[in-house]
């Protein structure tokens, strides 16, 4: 079983790359962003709560995210592995994920971080915002606030996973194919 945590600031290409990795390694892709958007679109209680945080450019609180993630894993008992996209975002979440996976006889195989310059990512997100309809991708101030949230809360996970020899930094600039090849090289080195 391969369980990958895919890191990167908003716009780094996590969703795009997760689709290639999902297909190539036959993994289940769990994107907290997609799960949140589904709940928001369907106006569930969780969706309304998540929207209130996302409208401010803030991250959704840990307990809501963790409960959602556990439910998604439970829905896929026959999976060959998972790609966690957008989770964990904090050390507390990483510890909760490790504990949850351990109870299921699983663990994180590797974490891969797609690294890219902030200005490049702002350009990508504003362009995505033109077609996606996502309000959080249409306002540069909100985008930069999301980057700051990432820097404060998520970037410290680099040390957490480095201590476990599970952290891999991947250059997220280049063609989609080039970035996919870099990711696959890192993941193939695990086996």
Q: List, by residue number, the catalytic residues.
A: 14, 89, 128, 134, 146
Structure tokens at 6: 């895919």
Question: Can you tell me whether residue 189 is helix, strand or coil?
Answer: coil
Nearest-angstrom CA–CA distance, 3 and 124: 27
User: By the 8 A CB rule, do 97 and 3 touch?
Assistant: no
Nearest-angstrom CA–CA distance, 35 and 39: 6
Q: CB neighbours of 34 closer than 8 A, spacing ≥ 6?
A: 15
Burial 154-176 (b: 16+ CB within 10 A, else e): beebeebbeeeebbbebebeeee
């Amino acid at each position: 079983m391969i369980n990958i945590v895919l890191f990167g600031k908003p716009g780094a290409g996590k969703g795009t790359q997760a689709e290639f990795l999902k297909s190539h390694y036959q993994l289940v892709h769990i994107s907290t962003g997609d799960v949140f958007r589904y709940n928001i679109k369907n106006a569930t209680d969780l969706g309304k709560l998540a929207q209130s945080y996302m409208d401010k450019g803030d991250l959704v609180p840990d307990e809501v995210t963790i409960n959602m993630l556990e439910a998604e894993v439970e829905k896929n008992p026959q999976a060959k592995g998972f790609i966690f996209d957008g989770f964990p975002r904090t050390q507390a979440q990483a510890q909760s994920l490790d504990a949850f996976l351990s109870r299921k006889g699983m663990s994180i195989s590797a974490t891969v971080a797609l690294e890219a310059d902030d200005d490049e990512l702002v350009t990508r997100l504003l362009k995505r915002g033109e077609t996606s309809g996502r309000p959080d991708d249409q306002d540069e101030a909100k985008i930069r606030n999301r980057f700051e949230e990432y820097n404060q809360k998520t970037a410290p996970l680099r040390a957490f996973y480095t201590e476990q020899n599970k952290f891999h930094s991947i250059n997220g600039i280049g063609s989609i194919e080039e970035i996919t090849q870099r990711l696959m090289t890192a993941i193939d080195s695990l086996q």
